[in-house]
Amino acid sequence: MMTSKDLTESRKKIGDETPAPPGFVSLTSFTLKRTKRDREPEQNEAYSKTTDIENLQKSVKHRPWILGDQLTNLEKPNTQHLNMNISVENTLPKGVIRGCPSCSNCQKVIACWRPEEGCRPSVKSTSVLHPTEEEFKDIYKYIEKIRPKAEENGICRILPPESWKPPFLLKGNKFDTTRFGTHVQEINALKDLHSKRKLNEIIELKDGSDGFEFESGPEFTLPAFKRYAEQFKQNYFKKQDMFTGVGTPAWENVEGEYWRIIQNPTEEIQVLSGHNLETKVLGSGFPLPSLDDHNDDQSKYRKSGWNLNNTPNMPGSLLPFDCDNSTPSTSRMDVGMCFSSLCWKVEEHHLYLLSYMHLGSSRIWYGVPSKYRLKCEALLKKTFPELSRHRELFHKLVTQLSPSILKSEGIPVYRCVQHPKQFILIFPGAYYWGFDTGFSVSEKANFAPLDWLPHGQLTVETYSEMHRKTSISYDKILLGGAREAAKSSWDSRKRGWNNACGKDGWFTRALKSRVRRESFKREFLCNGARSRKMEEDFGCSLKRECFLCFSDLYLSAAGCSCSPDKYSCLEHSKQICTCPWSSRFFLYRSSIDELNLLIDTLSGKVNPKSTTFTT
């Protein structure tokens, strides 16, 4: 037992009036001294340079009351061996232990549910839609019908008719033997794990990649992952009352516990997730389209627009016009367990997202309407001030913000609870995030109907300002679709394109806006004498991007004879190299006159047969 005399002597050694916590004594022998600073910190102390690093780390490990920011001010003889990421979160006891010498896939769940401390947020529920059999036949026509109202929430849930029961095809040999990779998610640290402590690593990723992923986890087959997930949930939510036994908690209970872990963590909770798995590896849960399509029970599901293998390429979608880029047109699989998270995000290029849950436990989603997007970004700057000068990095964050925080800033949040055999629809530009309440298998796909065009142009302009890579060619999609719609033999309604043409048609308005910006740049930045048409395959087989801002160069580009494989957008043509301005040349796919003629054709001012776009 530490006496008062011992405590006094201990205070003298560290030269501070702050006592050690009762019952704690130093485990190592070391000297502390004050360091002179421009501004005296309140309680920050510096360890002497003679301190042994290993003993210091052990000491810190046993002193959880030492704040993480105190460690950043230490004077260290050899910083490469000192872990600078030590923080309050790192001092939490482990609630889940994964792996052992004989098996990397096993787990021991030590933490347990704390229902009395649940932090279930108070938010409104979003729309739940019930299409009729007739409405369900045409996916794009139905989404066009519900969009004006459902888009106000940013997210909605769609319950198919009773008769729509597609088979789940990830069974049999492929289901039992195909392995997929997982990622480790530390749920208790999602509030700031991959933002504040990893800022320097994120900034290094300015090459346009999607941001760094979670730490890689073990590989599983689906049956093995299901066993792992069910074991975790059963052990974590086991009831302590021997008379009530073990039961499955309601999704409301899981939601309250999830936000408790994030906001008031008491243990480290690590779970595994398998998100964005390619269907060509794991397979699709839907029947695949077949040339030899017999009239069997699966025939209607193979052809259905709600089959996510078909959705991106159905009549009514614009993505097929960027046929050289198949990534957004491919469905992906999500395999989750209790607490595995879809972190705060908005879809690439603000595309629509449709998700279908094949089987498993419910998933809880949260959505914010797109008109609050700028408010969301302002909140991110406020929450993560160290990123205020790096707006281009917001999409790389892997973090969760409580709906309560957003609501306190005047940002509405809507909850969607997705159960098996149901769809979730995310509208363009909406922020969303969510988590699983247990083992689940779902499938998702992006698509782009006509009403996406304004969102598409906005994101292209925004990405260029942020020097962020594009994943699709907006100009290629816009011109390809507009030319098709302008053909004399083309009835746009057959493609599901209601209101595509005409004075106020989607294509007409989008192309007018795009040509207006392009015309201004060419007038003031291009030299007509050194301008020429692009070769037909420029930017087709190999996507061409501005070397500086990563803008897509499908419509126009600038170059210099000194760098034959280096191109820029018109705005950055001066930065290509240091050669004289007279050495620049400019490429364009269509002249402004040709583009204006296409606009007149779309609006009905010109007979389509007289244009060059009928071939």
Residues contacting 77, CB < 8 A, separation 6+: 49, 53
Torsion sign (Cα): 56, 57, 59, 60: positive
Element (H, E) at 162: none
pLDDT tens across 551-585, in order?
Answer: 999 999 999 989 988 999 999 999 999 999 889 99
Closest CA to 212 of 349, 393, 387: 393
Structure tokens at 209: 């990649």
Place of tokens 């789940």: 168
Structure tokens at 291: 């040339």
Please say whether the beta carbons of 425 and 356 come within 8 A: no
How is the chain split into domains, by residue range? 96-203+211-455, 473-610
Place of tokens 């074991």: 231
Give the amino acid at 360.
G
pLDDT(51) > 90: no
pLDDT tens across 303-316, in order?
Answer: 999 999 999 999 88
Closest CA to 517 of 551, 487, 481: 551
Residues contacting 282, CB < 8 A, separation 6+: 170, 178, 180, 333
pLDDT tens across 113-169, in order?
Answer: 999 999 999 999 998 999 999 999 999 999 999 999 999 999 999 999 999 999 888
The pTM of the full predicted model, rounded to 2 decimals, is: 0.81
Give the amino acid at 267.
E
pLDDT tens across 423-437, in order?
Answer: 999 999 999 999 999
Lowest mean pLDDT among 48-62, 239-253, 497-511: 48-62
Percent of the chain residues topping a pLDDT of 70: 74
The span from the CA of 472 to the CA of 453, in Å, is: 13
Phi, psi dihedrals of residue 130, rounded to the nearest 5°:
-125, 85
pLDDT of residue 293: 57
Place of tokens 């061996």: 81
In 137-161, which positions are buried (b, 16+ CB within 10 angstroms) versus exposed (e)?
ebbbebbbebbeebbbbbbbbbebe
Structure tokens at 412: 């509405």
- By DSSP bridging, strand 431-436 and strand 155-158 are unpaired
pLDDT of residue 326: 57
Please say whether the beta carbons of 189 and 378 come within 8 A: no
Structure tokens at 389: 């000068």
- Cα–Cα distances in Å, from 572 out to 42, 551, 554, 580? 49, 10, 15, 15
pLDDT tens across 233-255, in order?
Answer: 999 998 655 444 456 789 999 99
pLDDT of residue 349: 95
Closest CA to 160 of 381, 423, 395, 337: 423
pLDDT tens across 176-235, in order?
Answer: 788 899 999 999 988 865 544 455 555 555 444 445 457 888 999 999 999 999 999 999
pLDDT of residue 42: 39
Element (H, E) at 179: strand 179-186
Phi, psi dihedrals of residue 181, rounded to the nearest 5°:
-85, 155
C-beta atoms surrounding 327 within 10 Å: 13
pLDDT tens across 360-398, in order?
Answer: 999 999 999 999 999 998 888 888 777 767 776 777 777
Give rounded-to-5 percent helix, strand, coil for the chain.
Answer: 35, 20, 45
CB-count burial class (<10 Å; 0-12, 13-18, 19+) for 54: exposed
Most distant CA pair in the chain, distance: 102
Give the DSSP letter of residue 493.
G
Structure tokens at 574: 């001066």
Please say whether the beta carbons of 442 and 358 come within 8 A: yes
Give the amino acid at 477.
I
pLDDT of residue 401: 87
The span from the CA of 197 to the CA of 590, in Å, is: 48
Residues contacting 448, CB < 8 A, separation 6+: 312, 317, 318, 319, 328, 351, 352, 456, 477
Q: Which CATH architecture has domain 96-203+211-455?
A: Sandwich (2.60)
- Cα–Cα distances in Å, from 528 out to 2, 523, 524, 535, 582? 87, 9, 10, 17, 12
pLDDT of residue 494: 56
Residue 476: beta bridge partners?
Answer: none
Closest CA to 42 of 7, 69, 21: 69
pLDDT tens across 69-127, in order?
Answer: 333 333 333 333 333 333 444 578 999 998 887 777 789 999 999 999 999 999 999 98
pLDDT of residue 520: 94
Give the DSSP letter of residue 194.
B
Structure tokens at 537: 């395959």
Give the amino acid at 448.
A
Give the amino acid at 471.
S
Please say whether the beta carbons of 267 and 95 come within 8 A: yes
The span from the CA of 92 to the CA of 361, in Å, is: 29
The span from the CA of 496 to the CA of 140, in Å, is: 7
Mean pLDDT of the chain: 80
User: What average pLDDT does the segment 48-72 reach?
Assistant: 40
DSSP 219-252: EEEHHHHHHHHHHHHHHHT--S-TTT---PPPHH
C-beta atoms surrounding 91 within 10 Å: 16
Q: Report CA dihedral (148, 151, 153, 154) to the nearest 10 degrees.
A: 180
3-state class (DSSP) for residue 148? helix
C-beta atoms surrounding 66 within 10 Å: 17
pLDDT(489) > 90: no
